[in-house]
Amino acid sequence: MLRSVAARTLLALILLASLLLSAAPAASITKSEVDEACAESQAAKAVLDEAQTQLDAATAAHQDAYWQRDEVSYKQLGLRASIDSHIEEIDDIRDRVVERAVDMYMAGGAVQPGMLFNAGSVEDVITGQAYLDAATKDDITALERLEALKVTLDDLQIEFTAQKAELDVIESNLAAIAQNQLALVDQVAAAFNDLDSDCRAARTEYQQQLAREAALKAARASGGAGGVSAEATPGFICPMPAPVSFINDWGFPRSGGRKHKGTDIFAAYGHRVVAVANGTVRLRSGGLGGISVWLHADYGVSFYYAHLSGYAPGIVDGMQVSIGQEIAYNGDTGNARGGAPHVHFQIHPGGSSRAAVNPYPTLSRNC
Domain residue ranges in the chain:
32-195, 226-367
Given a contact cutoff of 8 angstroms between Cβ atoms, the answer to whether 282 and 306 are in contact is no
What per-residue confidence (pLDDT) applies to 24?
37
Cα separation, 343 vs 304, whole angstroms: 9
Which run of H or of E encompasses 162? helix 137-194
d(CA 174, CA 53): 19
User: 3-state class of 266 per DSSP?
Assistant: strand
Distance of alpha carbon 131 from alpha carbon 145, whole angstroms = 16
- Residue 298's pLDDT is what? 94
Residues 101 and 116 sit within 8 Å (Cβ to Cβ): yes
Give the three-state DSSP class for 22: helix
Neighbours of 115 (CB within 10 A): 18
- pLDDT number for residue 59: 84
Architecture per CATH, 226-367: Distorted Sandwich (2.70)
In single-letter form, the type of residue at position 5 comes to: V
Count, residues in the chain: 367
Task: Measure the CA dihedral 176/177/183/184, to 10°.
Answer: 160
CATH numeric code, 32-195: 1.10.287.1490
- Calculate ∠ Cα 362-363-367, nearest 5°: 135
| Amino acid present at 366 | N
Phi, psi of 7 (to 5 degrees): -65, -45
Q: What burial class does residue 23 get, using C-beta atoms within 10 Å of its C-beta: 0-12 exposed, 13-18 middle, 19+ buried?
A: exposed
Task: Give the model confidence (pLDDT) of 165-200 as tens digits.
Answer: 998 898 888 888 888 888 888 888 888 888 888 888
Query: Edge to edge, what strands does the sheet with 291-297 contain?
Result: 263-266, 342-349, 301-308, 291-297, 279-284, 320-321
How far is it, in rounded angstroms, from Cα 139 to Cα 85? Answer: 21
CA-wise closest residue to 177 among 249, 69, 45: 69
Best CA proximity match to 59, nearest among 223, 163, 188, 164: 188
Q: pLDDT at position 255, please?
A: 63
HSE, side-chain direction, 13 A CA sphere, residue 173:
16
* Dist CA 347 CA 166 (whole Å): 34
Ranges of residues in the chain with a pLDDT under 50 are: 1-26, 115-117, 119
Pinpoint the alpha helices (H) of 246-312.
none
Calpha distance 265→341 (Å, rounded) = 9
Task: Determine the Cα–Cα distance for residues 295 and 352; give it in Å rounded to an integer.
Answer: 9
Report pLDDT for 17.
34
The 10 Å Cβ neighbour count of residue 125 is 22
pLDDT at 130: 52
